[in-house]
Amino acid sequence: MIALTAWLGRWQSDRAGEKEALQAMFEARSREAAVTLGPTSGPAEALLYRHVRATGRWFPEGQVFIDNRIDEGRAGFHVVTPLRLAGSERVVLVNRGWVERSGTYPQAPNVPPPAAGEVEVTGLAALPPKRYLELSNETVSGNVWQNLSLDRYAQRMKLDVLPVMILADRASPGLVPVQERPDTGIARHKEYSLTWYSLATTVLALWVFYSFRREPA
């Protein structure tokens, strides 16, 4: 038991070290010059948490609202609209910002799609947030989605989607910008490591205590 718990503590410490290196890489990327997205951009690992720019035209028919997103304690939606890249049929999803739920909930509030014409969007390349609990596979109601998966979106909309989405630097009028800071869970691994080492110490102390305890005469 001592060996097992000590090994688990060391494993979690090593995982924390790996995550610290990953966190440092993400933070370094966020300070680098912006990357221009195009039809051949990818994979996600090379783009994640880089500042990016993309030029194209909005595809308003593909706009969706991601439910259960919280901003300063208020529940609302992330407004996600595809941008068709210039000179290509490929699209990149753009998180245009957060909007509070309205009196029509669970329907989405009235957020007009952006104006037509070619535009340039800048922001941070990211992946959709991890899924909330899904009680069934049918989590889409019209343009309101419980969770956003790039693969699911591509299949449902029949669009060729880049492997990352853009968190727009400037939110559209009436929306709150969505910001994200890389968090690889370093603190959690350190807590787990401390827990396992503490358990190993406890087991060792109990073993010593019971090994040297004298039997009553």
Residue 183 CA to residue 59 CA, distance in Å, equals: 31
pLDDT at position 216, please?
A: 58
Threshold 0.95, pTM exceeds: no
Most confident of 102-116, 162-176, 178-192: 162-176
More confident call, 192 vs 125 = 125
Give the torsion sign (CA, 127, 132, 133, 134).
negative
Residue 90 CA to residue 86 CA, distance in Å, equals: 9
- For the cut 80, the answer to whether the pLDDT of residue 91 exceeds it is yes
- Structure token pair of residue 78: 């992330």
Q: What is the pLDDT of residues 25-52, one digit of tens each?
A: 777 777 788 889 988 887 888 888 889 9
More confident call, 135 vs 80 = 80
Mapped onto helix, strand or coil, the DSSP state of residue 191 is: helix
Contacts of 165 (CB under 8 A, 6+ apart): 80, 92, 93, 94, 95, 125, 126, 127, 128, 148, 150
Please give the distance of CA 83 from its chain centroid, rounded to a whole number.
Answer: 20
pLDDT at position 156, please?
A: 92
- 34-43, 58-67, 112-121, 136-145: least confidently modelled range: 136-145
Q: What is the pLDDT of residues 134-171, one digit of tens each?
A: 544 545 678 999 889 999 999 999 999 999 999 999 88
Contact 38, 158 (CB under 8 A): no
Percent of all residues in the chain with a pLDDT value above 90, rounded to a whole number: 40
What angle do the packed helices 186-212 and 2-30 form, to 10 degrees?
A: 160
The DSSP output letter for 60 is G
Burial 153-192 (b: 16+ CB within 10 A, else e): bbeebebebbbbbbbbeebbeebbbbeeebebebeebbeb
